[in-house]
Chains A and B, each alone.
Chain A
Amino acid sequence: MKVLPAGSSSGALFASVPPSSPPPAHVPAVAPGTSTTDTPRDALVPAVAPGTSTTDAPRDALVPAVAPGTSTTDAPRDALVPAVAPGTSTTDTPRDALTLSLPEDASTHGHRIDELLASSHRFDAVLIAVALGWLVLAVWRFHQAKQAASDGGTRRSRAWVLGLALGAFAVVDGSLLLGSEGYLRDVLWNFHVPAEDPRTVRIEINAHQWSWEARYAGADGRFGTPDDVVTWNDLRVPVGAPVWVQLVSTDVVHGFSLPHFRVKLDAIPGRVNQTWFQAAREGAWEAACYQHCGTSHYRMRGVLTAMSPESYATWLREAGKQATQAYDAEDLAAHWGWEWKAP
């Protein structure tokens, strides 16, 4: 479990947090980044969300604990302890209240969605301007006019309506459809990329009320073995390599999203869903649940840290060793990993 409270988040902060429901009887196999392997879950649940206090004063006070913009590579004191403590802070560029744009893009392919969305919105703006301009002009020009036409349009005017609608449809919907199809073909539904890239990192994610449990295969490259590295609300990926996620849920439907990587996928009990993405640069960004999953849905927050391939490898190696040492064959609840599903 990777979400020990950062130094600044005292227990008092959570005094006003309403009670969450009892945690699952789940003890993480390994807690990367800390030396304790037996941290009881309930002690950690409130820590999932530092800064979540319902009194608003301390919310901002928490953030400066780790200076925004701190990169994980600036302070490689120990590969196991990133400078940005996962679960506490992220590397988002601070934004002005009036900055209204998509969350910043930290992925290799997200810009294609962003560009498609931008071009689609330009068309939308034109449509809105035409429709509203026409409406306002018509009302202004024909307000209380002395005479009104007595017909319901001519064959010609109706043809114009059909033609205009078809034209707008072809341009606006057509470009959206083609752009979307290109992204689906090249990225979103193209699992050849992660399947064929030797650097691909495979992660199994198990969603719970209310946390993200992630499993890495460890040195042997196989899931469900003693050297599996399991983290809580703490995803780590190398920069520049495809990350292939397979996703399940233990209890209810959750939604796994990485807003800065343009990733969204439902976690549904009884099935394994998959998606993939690639981090373009180092930093730490948030993972969020987007499907209502119960009272503490809003606290189902994790942090994804994109690291240099070297520090990622170091971390995985060390964490794998610790996991092997701490492996408890009888802790059945911890053995939820599955054989990687071929696409």
Chain B
Amino acid sequence: MSLFSSDHKAVARRYLWSGLGFLLLGGLLALLIRWQWAYPGQPVPGLAWALPESRGALTPPAYTAVFTMHGLIMIFFAVTPLLFGALGHFVLPLSIGARGLAFPRLSVVGFWLYALGGALVLGSFAVRLGPASAGWTSYPPLSTPAFTPGLGQTLVTVAVLCAGASAFLYGLNFIVTVVRCRAPGMTWGRLSLTVWGLFFASVLNVLFVPVLAAATALLLMDRLLGTQFFIAGAAAVGGGGDPVVYQHLFWLFGHPEVYILILPAWGMVGDFVAFFSRKPAHGYRLTAGAMGTVTALSGLVYAHHLFTSGMSPLLGRTFMVLTLLISLPAEVMYLNWLMTLWRGSVRLTSPMLAALSTMIVFGLGGITGLSLGAVATDVPLHGTLWVVGHFHLTMGAASFLAVFAGLYFWFPKMFGRALHEGLAKAHVLSSAVLFLGVFGGQLAAGYAGQLRRLYDPYQYTYLKHLLPLNQWTSACAFLLGAAQVLFIVNLVWTLARGRAVGANPWKVGTLEWTCAPSPPPAWNYDPVPEVLRGPHALSQPEVLAQLGRDWMGQAEPMPDAAETEPGPVDAEEPGRVSTSGGAA
């Protein structure tokens, strides 16, 4: 299969390998940060080749580049590409019964834009003065040439534009695909929750990534053309621009971005708890509605990132109320997941363990964010490791574990081989526990006041006592890094000689498992299936009675079709409970 194949499954595989590569790179950079906080200024074992002058020790300039690139790589080149590029491209058309994406060639362009961005990121490590170092947020004036002169900052700015263009393209592609290319009978109420999550997140991509692109393009003009959109005060020759405008533009994208990273994860959790509790999702419509509400609100809460920027009290109060409001739909969704487990028949497969782990880390991450949403309690915590721990639990740990939930779930469909369950479970469990160690440690250090991005926190007297805590946290981080070997071994071994699987190893009813072999052929479905029911038709008594199994394909007719053909009226009838929860 050529590198330019426009089959959505081939594009997905390209994103998968590059995303995993960048995940490894971003993870190694994170370990460097953790090393620095545990052993400040001491040589990093094995890094002398990269930093010969300091014999491998991180210098302050190197350190700023490391944390900047960790953030940018993880968000734009690892987690988003894995969630959307790999899982989204693979699952979305299959799950709705489409024979491909609406714009196959656009998805190829999107991947190569992303690849170009990735190449620029990698290249930036080789240029004089190193890669970007102004923080992943790239706040001007720091990110302008007066304060960060290197070519690396420019290259990475262009790379972010490339990744943004790619995200916009697949966002658009996914939206059109879901709206236009669903199989006959695949009503909106029969979409899997994963597709709902991907769909809502794609809407956010299309709405808000252009905002980032605008801000980044203006910043690039400030860097290259001498404009002063974001320069003000003494640093500007003529004044005029305003750095705060950039902050607003950036976070107008930046906060929806965290929902872009978590909505597909929510969708997968919703599906997997239903699949592996062997029962329909509790409150399917409520859950999809809650995800939609979060999507609608997500562009209206961003300014809580700017509570300390001196914004007007009116704005501060407004964003405080809106921010707290967004926790309501999240709670509804979370309770629905819990209710799905209840009275189910829980099977602790590797995707289920990963989904449950996602629930746990996301729950902790969400709850620790409440105090950041109110202005008064944000003040002591703003800019500390509390914030870092909070958002890493949600968009780091939760998204990571959801990526692996999805990967463990769909890997057999992607490659026709089953990963080793024991290794997969060990990987998920150890990662989840160590994530809690790492980000729990960061929450604790942040609560005690440790500020983000400090090369050496311990020069502050009031932070000196946190060294042992940080060393423990770093130990968890190193172990977390080591635990990923379990996945790599599993992956390599499975691809080489893993057990071949049939079409439906998980015994669930969605189209990709019930209407296509593993892996699916080039055009997915021939003929295109006619969908008869929702994605979670599990443990239905009539199916158990007639077929002797607890699952039913979405497009599988009942042996006595006339009796069970669902009509549209069913959904509205309160007495017929089995029609909700995605069973219909």
Binding site for B on A (CB under 8 A): 16, 18, 20, 49, 51-56, 59-60, 63, 89-90, 92, 94-103, 112-114, 116-117, 120-121, 124, 127-128, 131-132, 134-135, 138-139, 142-155, 157-158, 161-162, 164-166, 168-169, 172-173, 176-177, 179-181, 183-184, 188-189, 209, 248-253, 255, 257, 259-260, 262-266, 268-271, 273-274, 285-286, 288-299, 301
Proximity string of chain B (446-473) to chain A, C-beta cutoff 8 Å, 1 when within and 0 when not: 0111011111111111101111110000
Proximity string of chain B (356-374) to chain A, C-beta cutoff 8 Å, 1 when within and 0 when not: 1001100110011011011
In the complex the two chains form, is A270's CB within 8 Å of B462's CB? Answer: no
Q: Name the residue of chain B whose CB is nearest to the CB of A249.
A: B233
In the complex the two chains form, is B317's CB within 8 Å of A181's CB? Answer: yes
Q: Name the residue of chain B whose CB is nearest to the CB of A100.
A: B444
In the complex the two chains form, is A151's CB within 8 Å of B371's CB? Answer: no
Q: Indicate whether A131 sits within 8 Å of B334 (C-beta atoms), given known contacts A59-B458, A169-B327.
A: yes
Interchain nearest-CB distance for A163 vs B (Å): 10
Q: Which residues of B contact A250 (CB under 8 A)?
A: 233-235
In the complex the two chains form, is A145's CB within 8 Å of B344's CB? Answer: yes
Q: Which residues of B contact A103 (CB under 8 A)?
A: 380, 448-449, 462
Give bound CA distance, A153 to B327, whole Å.
22
Interchain nearest-CB distance for B69 vs A (Å): 13
In the complex the two chains form, is B363's CB within 8 Å of A132's CB? Answer: yes
Give bound CA distance, A206 to B461, whole Å.
23
Q: Indicate whether A132 sits within 8 Å of B360 (C-beta atoms), given known contacts A161-B339, A184-B376, A269-B233.
A: yes
Q: Which residues of B contact A150 (CB under 8 A)?
A: 279-280, 538-541, 578, 583
Q: Which residues of A contact B347 (CB under 8 A)?
A: 144
In the complex the two chains form, is B339's CB within 8 Å of A142's CB? Answer: no
Q: Indicate whether A148 sits within 8 Å of B339 (C-beta atoms), given known contacts A103-B449, A249-B233.
A: no
A-B contact pairs, 27 of them (CB 8 A): A18-B60, A89-B461, A97-B466, A101-B447, A101-B448, A113-B379, A120-B377, A131-B363, A148-B277, A148-B279, A150-B280, A151-B577, A153-B580, A161-B336, A162-B286, A162-B332, A165-B328, A169-B328, A176-B371, A252-B142, A257-B383, A270-B233, A273-B310, A288-B460, A290-B382, A295-B133, A298-B455
Q: Name the residue of chain A whose CB is nearest to the CB of B359.
A: A135
In the complex the two chains form, is B383's CB within 8 Å of A146's CB? Answer: no
Instruction: Indicate if B190 sits at the interface (CB-CB under 8 A).
Output: no
In the complex the two chains form, is A113's CB within 8 Å of B580's CB? Answer: no
Q: Indicate whether A153 sits within 8 Å of B379 (C-beta atoms), given known contacts A18-B59, A100-B448, A286-B462.
A: no
Q: Which residues of B contact A269 (CB under 8 A)?
A: 141, 231-236, 243
Q: Which residues of A contact B533 (CB under 8 A)?
A: none
Give bound CA distance, A255 to B243, whole Å.
14
Given contacts A55-B41, A116-B376, 5 further A-B contacts (CB under 8 A): A116-B377, A142-B277, A157-B339, A252-B147, A290-B383
Interchain nearest-CB distance for B320 vs A (Å): 7
Q: Indicate whether A152 sits within 8 Å of B284 (C-beta atoms), given known contacts A183-B376, A271-B310, A288-B451.
A: yes
Interface centre among A94, A273, A292, A301 (most CB of B within 10 A): A292
Q: Indicate whether A253 sits within 8 Å of B279 (C-beta atoms), given known contacts A113-B377, A188-B375, A288-B460.
A: no
Q: Which residues of B contact A100 (CB under 8 A)?
A: 444, 447-448, 469
Interchain nearest-CB distance for B34 vs A (Å): 16
In the complex the two chains form, is A142's CB within 8 Å of B342's CB? Answer: yes
In the complex the two chains form, is A99's CB within 8 Å of B313's CB? Answer: no
In the complex the two chains form, is A144's CB within 8 Å of B377's CB? Answer: no
Q: Which residues of B contact A189 (CB under 8 A)?
A: 313, 316
Interface residues of B in 295-353 (CB under 8 A from A): 308-310, 313, 316-317, 320-321, 324-325, 327-328, 331-332, 334-336, 338-339, 341-348
Give bound CA distance, A132 to B338, whole Å.
9
Q: Which residues of A contact B360 (CB under 8 A)?
A: 132, 135
Partner of A295, one of B64, B141, B317, B341: B64
In the complex the two chains form, is B367's CB within 8 Å of A127's CB? Answer: yes
Partner of A135, one of B341, B376, B382, B538: B341
Q: Name the residue of chain B whose CB is nearest to the CB of A173.
A: B324
Interchain nearest-CB distance for A315 vs B (Å): 22
Binding site for A on B (CB under 8 A): 39-42, 54, 57, 59-61, 64, 133-135, 139, 141-142, 146-148, 231-236, 239, 241-244, 277-284, 286, 308-310, 313, 316-317, 320-321, 324-325, 327-328, 331-332, 334-336, 338-339, 341-348, 356, 359-360, 363-364, 367-368, 370-371, 373-377, 379-384, 444, 447-449, 451-462, 464-469, 536, 538-541, 550, 574, 577-578, 580-583
In the complex the two chains form, is B375's CB within 8 Å of A265's CB? Answer: no
Number of A-B contacts (CB under 8 A): 351
In the complex the two chains form, is A97's CB within 8 Å of B467's CB? Answer: yes
Give bound CA distance, A16 to B313, whole Å.
45
Q: Which residues of B contact A146 (CB under 8 A)?
A: 345
- Does more than half of chain A's interface fall in helix, strand or loop, or is it mixed? mixed
Q: Which residues of B contact A173 (CB under 8 A)?
A: 324-325, 327-328, 370
In the complex the two chains form, is B64's CB within 8 Å of A152's CB? Answer: no
Interchain nearest-CB distance for A299 vs B (Å): 7
Q: Which residues of A contact B341 (CB under 8 A)?
A: 135, 138-139, 142
Interface centre among B139, B147, B356, B380 (most CB of A within 10 A): B380
Give bound CA distance, A260 to B339, whole Å.
44
Q: Which residues of A contact B462 (CB under 8 A)?
A: 90, 92, 103, 259-260, 285-286
Q: Which residues of A contact B454 (CB under 8 A)?
A: 297-298
Give bound CA distance, A29 to B480, whole Å.
52
Q: Which residues of B contact A56 (CB under 8 A)?
A: 39-42
Q: Which residues of B contact A116 (CB under 8 A)?
A: 374, 376-377
Q: Indicate whether A128 sits within 8 Å of B379 (C-beta atoms), given known contacts A259-B449, A271-B244.
A: no
Interchain nearest-CB distance for B36 vs A (Å): 10
Q: Which residues of B contact A253 (CB under 8 A)?
A: 139, 141-142, 243
Give bound CA distance, A72 to B516, whole Å.
78
Q: Indicate whether A95 sits within 8 Å of B465 (C-beta atoms), given known contacts A157-B282, A253-B142.
A: yes
Q: Which residues of B contact A158 (CB under 8 A)?
A: 282-283, 286
Q: Which residues of A contact B281 (CB under 8 A)?
A: 152
Partner of B453, one of A95, A121, A273, A297: A297
Partner of A144, one of B346, B356, B371: B346
Give bound CA distance, A143 to B278, whole Å.
11
Q: Which residues of A contact B466 (CB under 8 A)?
A: 97
Q: Indicate whether A51 sits within 8 Å of B459 (C-beta atoms), given known contacts A148-B539, A150-B279.
A: yes
Q: Which residues of A contact B541 (CB under 8 A)?
A: 150
Give bound CA distance, A26 to B333, whole Å.
56
Interchain nearest-CB distance for B437 vs A (Å): 15
In the complex the two chains form, is B60's CB within 8 Å of A298's CB? Answer: yes
Give bound CA distance, A124 to B469, whole Å.
23
Q: Name the residue of chain B whose CB is nearest to the CB of A254.
A: B142
In the complex the two chains form, is A270's CB within 8 Å of B243's CB? Answer: yes
Partner of B383, one of A94, A155, A255, A301: A255
Q: Which residues of A contact B381 (CB under 8 A)?
A: 117
Q: Which residues of B contact A121 (CB under 8 A)?
A: 371
In the complex the two chains form, is A153's CB within 8 Å of B283's CB? Answer: yes
Q: Which 7 A-B pairs have the closest CB atoms?
A: A152-B581, A54-B41, A270-B232, A269-B233, A290-B383, A273-B310, A180-B374
